[in-house]
């Protein structure tokens, strides 16, 4: 996946082995331009940046979900891309909201479907990750200009 934002670009490889349904759904949404124009609505410095909500509120999604329960030894370390979910949803539930880990280790339990790992542009992800305030909101608007499926 190639992600172009108003602060630069980054790329990540999809984890099709651990999350076949999640990665297929995500690629489908990318091909439909679902993410284009969305924002990173949650930024927690030293932890994660989160996007993929078409409403920008943290409550939106594509209108459906898929489930890929992550392996019990899943680790959410710097550059890992995973799917966000509510606490009420079962482990591995995925809609469209995703997060990228910016800290060394997010310390999360293996409840979040693995989407992939950043392969290029980690400095851009880390730059975005410094633009959050104490309430986990961005201090400036960070927009996904275009997301594409890499060949």
Q: Structural domain boundaries of the chain?
A: 2-148
Dihedral pair phi/psi, residue 28, rounded to 5°: -60, -45
- Token pair 């995973």 in the structure block, residue: 82
Q: 2-148, superfamily in CATH?
A: Cyclophilin-like (2.40.100.10)
- Token pair 């082995």 in the structure block, residue: 17
Cβ neighbours of residue 150 under 8 Å, at least 6 residues apart?
1, 2, 11, 13
- Kindly report whether the global pTM for this prediction surpasses the value 0.85: yes
> How far is CA 7 from each of CA 38, 43, 68, 144, rounded to the nearest angstrom?
14, 14, 31, 9
Residues of the chain by 3-state class (helix, strand, coil), percent to 5: 15, 35, 55
Cβ neighbours of residue 69 under 8 Å, at least 6 residues apart?
90, 91, 92, 113
Per-residue confidence in pLDDT tens, the chain, 151 aa: 999 999 999 999 999 999 999 999 999 999 999 999 999 999 999 999 999 999 999 999 999 999 999 999 999 999 999 999 998 999 999 999 999 999 999 999 999 999 999 999 999 999 999 999 999 999 999 999 999 998 7
């Amino acid at each position: 996946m190639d992600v172009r934002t108003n602060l630069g670009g980054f790329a990540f490889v999809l984890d099709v082995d651990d999350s076949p349904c999640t990665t297929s759904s995500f690629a489908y949404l990318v091909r439909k331009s679902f993410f284009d124009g969305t924002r990173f609505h949650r930024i927690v410095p030293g932890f994660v940046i989160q996007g993929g909500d078409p409403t920008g509120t943290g409550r939106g999604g594509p209108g459906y979900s898929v489930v890929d329960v992550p392996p019990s030894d899943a680790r959410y370390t710097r550059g890992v891309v995973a799917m966000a979910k509510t606490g009420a949803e079962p482990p591995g539930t995925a809609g469209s909201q995703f997060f990228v880990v910016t800290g060394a280790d997010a310390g999360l339990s293996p409840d979040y479907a693995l989407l992939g790992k950043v392969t290029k542009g980690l400095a851009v992800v880390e730059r975005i990750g410094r633009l959050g305030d104490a309430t986990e909101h961005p201090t400036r608007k960070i927009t996904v200009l275009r997301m594409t499926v890499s060949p």
